[in-house]
Amino acid sequence: MTAHHGASESSTQLYAILEKTSSSSRSFVMGGSTKSSCRIKARRPNAKVRTGCETCKIRKIKCDEAKPHCLRCTSTGRKCDGYSTSPVGRSFVNFNQSTIKPFIRADKSLHSLAGSPEESRYLNYYFHRAGPRLSGNLDSDLWMRIVLQFASVEPAIRHATMVISYLYERGMEQRQTACPLVLPAQGKRFYLKHYNEAIRCLIARMQIESNALEISLVTCILFVCMEILRAEHTEFAMAHFLSGLDILATLRARRRLGIPSASQKLLTSPESTTLTFVEDKLVPAFARFTMTALLFGHSAPQLYLSPSSTTGGLVLYIPDKFSTLHEARLSLFDIMNLALMTIMKYNRKKYDPCGFFPGELDEHAQFCAVIPQWLAAFDASTATICTTPSLHEASTVLRILYTVTHIWLTCCMDPTEMAYDTHLPAFKLALALSTQVLESGAGLP
């Protein structure tokens, strides 16, 4: 049996449970209840809750004891009244905070959860090596705070984190050799054990109401990452990605908020949603996966585009200036997703003898005129939003992405290669900036 054969059987089970999650079993999102099939002792109605926040004590439910406000309260829109005494053994921060705070003693906390020296090694490897490299300069909130905090309390995410660490280390060892990864016999056993355990734990966890949506989406992200690192079955990565999109689509449809959009979200106050954590922290990751899928020739839903209620077209909101680099990045995601979808559509038509319809020519011209507004806003903001060397390096990556997207979009309707000649200076600049990024290692996995 190959390493991935056993994993694929577990993946089939996972797809089934996530499909169920994205439809009838999504009652936990909207406040419904789902009976648990896990072997967990039920709390008696009159049982006392001695630890946790004051709100959970009153409600007589188990508190996750995250600080400064617990997730059991904040994820359901309740106000957390805080703690009368400091809970023992916990050092988490609230997932809804916009400011990234360090995960206190994360390496030691994870070490205590490991079942063997090998597991301990890979959890520590994630904390010190794989996580920071996957984070780059702009994603530490996801890979170094959210994932690690969930890994401390959720077995599914902890097992998935160990698999990512193992695959990342193997990838570094085989960087100049095989692709897909070649796993030694002992490595296959470790990989299969924790891959299957992650799926088994997630399936069990989906039967429990608390934070099931966030956990399923974070685990989807980790499984997509696993399959990309494994580099053997891209269809598995797409399956995990699409399962996550199904959950997001169903959630948003029930909330009647339409399709998620980075740029449109900038116009919405945080108080307008009870799931700010999902919108702010997880949807951007799925948007990046959308771009990856499109670049590799897969079709992908319009995850990050905002439909216009008046014209039926697509709206891009670009401010005069960006307040943060994260905001500039989200706006660029909108542009890149729409640009890639537009390029794919026009690539199929540019060799057609009938050519393009006048409406398509107008649409392309309008799009090409709009996206330079992003660069103007970005240039106007750079001095105030790039205040550290790491942010400056991250801004270089955004500038490269914009430049390449702009060139590709501008030339996508021309059936000849000559159209690219006028963009040689911009492309040379992108190459020079790319060399800078490679030499500094900024944002690279």
Is the same domain home to 106 and 159?
A: yes
Specify if 95 maps to a domain: yes
Is the same domain home to 252 and 267?
A: no
Is the same domain home to 113 and 25?
A: yes
Write the DSSP string, 162-187: HHHHHHHHHHHHTTTS-SSPPPPHHH
Specify if 217 maps to a domain: yes
pTM of the model: 0.69
Q: What is the pLDDT of residues 209-248, one digit of tens each?
A: 667 778 889 999 999 999 988 877 778 888 888 888 888 8
Write the DSSP string, 346-378: HHTTTT-TT---HHHHHHHHHHHHHTHHHHHHH
Token pair for 71: 């997730």
pLDDT (tens place) for every residue of the chain, 445 residues total: 444 555 555 555 565 555 555 543 333 332 233 333 333 333 434 444 456 787 777 776 778 777 667 777 776 767 777 765 433 333 333 444 433 344 444 555 666 666 788 888 999 899 889 998 888 878 888 998 889 888 888 999 999 999 999 999 988 877 655 567 778 777 889 989 999 999 999 988 888 766 777 888 999 999 999 998 887 777 888 888 888 888 887 776 666 544 444 444 443 433 344 367 787 788 888 888 888 888 877 777 666 544 433 334 556 778 899 999 988 998 898 888 888 888 888 887 888 888 888 888 888 888 888 889 999 999 999 999 998 888 888 899 999 999 999 999 999 998 888 899 999 999 999 999 999 888 876 544 4
Task: Give the residue from 225, 241, 256 where a domain finishes.
Answer: 256
Is the same domain home to 367 and 232?
A: no
Cα separation, 129 vs 323, in Å, equals: 31
Specify if 71 maps to a domain: no
Is the same domain home to 275 and 228?
A: no
Is the same domain home to 241 and 287?
A: no
Token pair for 444: 């690279």
Specify if 410 maps to a domain: yes
Task: Give the residue from 237, 256, 275 where a domain finishes.
Answer: 256
Cα separation, 218 vs 210, in Å, equals: 14
Is the same domain home to 293 and 241?
A: no
Structural domain count of the chain = 2
Q: What is the pLDDT of residues 285-338, one digit of tens each?
A: 888 888 888 887 777 766 654 443 333 455 677 889 999 998 899 889 888 888
Q: Please return the burial class of 121, using the count of CB atoms within 10 Å of its CB with bins 0-12, 13-18 and 19+.
A: middle
Cα separation, 4 vs 305, in Å, equals: 35
Determine the residue type at 242.
L
Q: In angstroms, how far is CA 302 from the centroid of its own chain?
A: 15
**What are the Cα distances from residue 133, in Å, to 239, 441, 445?**
25, 9, 5
Write the DSSP string, 394-417: HHHHHHHHHHHHHHHHHHTT-SSS
Specify if 57 maps to a domain: no
Please report the pLDDT score of residue 40 as a whole number: 30
Residue with tokens 């209840």: 33
Q: Of 234, 33, 39, 221, nearest to 135 (Cα)?
A: 221
Q: Are strands 314-315 and 306-307 parallel, antiparallel or unpaired?
A: antiparallel
Token pair for 100: 């990234």
Is the same domain home to 437 and 300?
A: yes
Token pair for 210: 């608390």
Rounded to a whole number of angstroms, the distance between the first and last alpha carbons of the chain is 30
Is the same domain home to 295 and 234?
A: no
Task: Give the residue from 256, 286, 318 where a domain finishes.
Answer: 256
Cα separation, 265 vs 280, in Å, equals: 9
Domain range holding 30?
A: 1-38+45-51+88-256
Cα separation, 397 vs 137, in Å, equals: 10
Please report the pLDDT score of residue 431 as a whole number: 95
Specify if 373 maps to a domain: yes
DSSP symbol at 206: T
Specify if 68 maps to a domain: no
Is the same domain home to 106 and 207?
A: yes
Specify if 74 maps to a domain: no
Cβ neighbours of residue 373 under 8 Å, at least 6 residues apart?
318
Is the same domain home to 101 and 229?
A: yes
Is the same domain home to 160 and 23?
A: yes
